[in-house]
Structure 1
Amino acid sequence: MRQNLIGAICLSLAASMWGSVYVISKYILEFVPPLTLVWLRYVIAFVFLFALLKANQAKRKKQETFRKRDWLLLGWIGFIGYFISIACQFIGTKLTDAHTGALITSATPAFIVIFAKFVLNERFTVRKVLAVVLATSGVVVVVGWRTNIGNYFWGSLILVGAAITWALLSVYVKLASQRFSSLTITTYAILFAFIFTTPEMLWELHSNVLSSQNIWVILGVIYLGIVATAGAFFLWNKGMELMDAGIGSLFFFFQPIVGAFLGWLLLNEKLNIQFFIGGSLIVAGVLIVTIQKEKVRKISMDQ
């Protein structure tokens, strides 16, 4: 009972931290360009995680060995997930608003179903297909059918791209976890993401002004690097370790809830009926996948 309680607290905090990213980044993006913010976030997160990784290895007196294909896999995870997905998340949030960013990217678990079929050879089921249809419909409702195509429309599509690429990341992380710990995967994938982001960050700064005189911007960047990146990943992995995966994944929905609430509270964003309808469809889709996974797990244990 105590183990489940600690796990629930860890997962709730992690998902809430991710939900706050959309609100914090929405403010910071008024002063810092999107890719530059991603770069700063990774610099801080990597230094923190690398120190933690080395301390952990020294404590266990064990060093991990890497093969060429391991580096390629970690590089791919860093590129598709921490570089492409996070960049899309920040750019999409800048063009839309905080609660839309939190909501659309919450469709990620349903998109995992598609990639798991082709990468992990997991079979399609009626429940999985229905989940994808519901989640996709929810995204369409949130984006809306607008005849006037502007920044909000394109920002929403970019956020869809963030959800899809993060789902692809999740599948390849599952492959990598067969050899490495979550801490190792996250640390070195972020290192690759830092490398991939550096050229784009330098190019971006040529045409954008970076404001560093605002103390709230500086504190926000530090928060994104240590708390919302390094800390959230650690808490999420710890929580999933303590709880069943099917039950633990339900806490992912603290992300859009917190993101929407903070967007309303701090940024004066409005939550219209379109947001709630689309959100309900996304929640229904992901719950179907979660319930199915939990059911399969219980059956396999009984056998």
Structure 2
Amino acid sequence: MSKRRAVALFVLLALVWGTAFVAIKAGLRTLPPVLFAAVRYDVAALVMLCYAAASSDYWLPRTRADRLTLLVEGTLIIALYNAFLFVGQQDLTSGVGAILVGVSPLLSTGFARVFLPSERLTAVGVVGLVVGFLGVALVARPSPAALLGGAAIPSGLVVLAAAAVALGSVLVQRLDGDISSEGMVAWSTALGAALLHAISLGLPGESLSAVEVTVTGLLAVVYLAVFASALGYVIYFDLLARVGAIEINLVTYAVPVVASISGWLVLDERLGGLDIAGFCCIFAGFILLKRRAVRAELGPLLARFGFR
């Protein structure tokens, strides 16, 4: 893959995933949160299963590792992530939600230390974690008054969503299933949709009678299912295979920028100074944690443009 094509796909992925937060906010105005997420993945699963069957020879799970991988992805990365995110996003702006989700690479480092014995956390890495969580505190601002009044709950739910993704990513790396990325995404999406429906049934206010069918809601579901989920994951795994985990993880920090700008343009949302400072801290924490890998991955590219 040429650098130009990789950059174009990176930008496209940031645009699709960043604007997804605006689509979530728009859909939440008329749809119950968890049911909204479930329907999104119903549509996405149908699209992805058709795509996987047409594009991959190994799209059906064959081994125990494959099945465990799909179970982890469907439960943690799809179901729990989206349940926490959609409920928490009801009371947050698009940009703040995207910033808090950006803590997932930091959390994955902590989980990797527990579940992947080969991973080691240096003193600088510890500083990176502390700086990153300082950023979360700046965005969430969990003061005693906010905690007692419940104002910090939405931010806490989104951080839990990021933790679910981080833990799921580490466990998937440990399981190391052989199923193709297309099949993995398709089946985990289908399982995640089923689990989201089960969660929705157990929550108050999540009945079909609470659904208000609007053009905005339908467009939000279609956009999230086809573009943010199906197209987004295809681009993500294509880039992951070709440019590596460090460069693709940087999209996590481009997404809040896109989400903030699109939220301002479409929904008239604003980011405060502490939100921006928190984002900078989270990004700085990531760089400190992954400094060697970032230098190894991006060094040749920076050298090409005269940076040493």
Aligned to 1:88: 84
Aligned to 2:247: 247
Change (3 A) 1:63 1:47: closer
Measured in 2, the distance between the counterparts of 1:189 and 1:296 equals: 32
| Deviates further, 241-250 or 268-277 | 241-250
Q: TM-score, normalised by structure 1?
A: 0.89
Map 1:1-303 to 2 at 5 A. 3-57=2-56, 60=57, 64-121=60-117, 122-146=119-143, 147-149=145-147, 150=149, 152-204=151-203, 205-206=206-207, 209-212=210-213, 214-295=214-295
Change (3 A) 1:297 1:99: closer
Change (3 A) 1:231 1:124: same
Q: Which amino acid aligns with 1:111?
A: L
Measured in 2, the distance between the counterparts of 1:267 and 1:132 equals: 33
Q: Which amino acid aligns with 1:93?
A: Q
Secondary structure at the aligned position of 1:95 is classed as coil
- After superposition, give the CA deviation of every residue in 1:26-66 in whole Å (9 maximum; x if it has no partner): 11101000111111111111001100110013xx5x56552
Give the unaligned 5+ runs of structure 2: 299-308
Secondary structure at the aligned position of 1:23 is classed as helix
Aligned to 1:301: none
- After superposition, give the CA deviation of every residue in 1:172-198 in whole Å (9 maximum; x if it has no partner): 232355522222221111121122112
Q: Which amino acid aligns with 1:210?
A: V
Q: State the Cα distance separating 1:69 from its structure 2 match.
A: 4.7
Measured in 2, the distance between the counterparts of 1:95 and 1:64 equals: 39
Contact 1:7 1:240 in 2 (8 A): no
Measured in 2, the distance between the counterparts of 1:155 and 1:240 equals: 31
Q: State the Cα distance separating 1:127 from its structure 2 match.
A: 2.9
Change (3 A) 1:3 1:178: farther
Contact 1:86 1:162 in 2 (8 A): yes
Secondary structure at the aligned position of 2:121 is classed as coil
Aligned to 2:304: none
Measured in 1, the distance between the counterparts of 2:61 and 2:252 equals: 32
Q: How many residues are aligned here?
A: 294
Contact 2:101 2:162 in 1 (8 A): yes
Q: State the Cα distance separating 1:259 from its structure 2 match.
A: 0.9
Contact 1:32 1:211 in 2 (8 A): yes
Secondary structure at the aligned position of 2:29 is classed as coil
How big is the alpha-carbon RMSD for the aligned residues of Structure 1 and Structure 2?
2.2
Work out the percentage of aligned pairs sharing the same amino acid: 23
Aligned to 2:302: none
Q: Which amino acid aligns with 2:18?
A: G
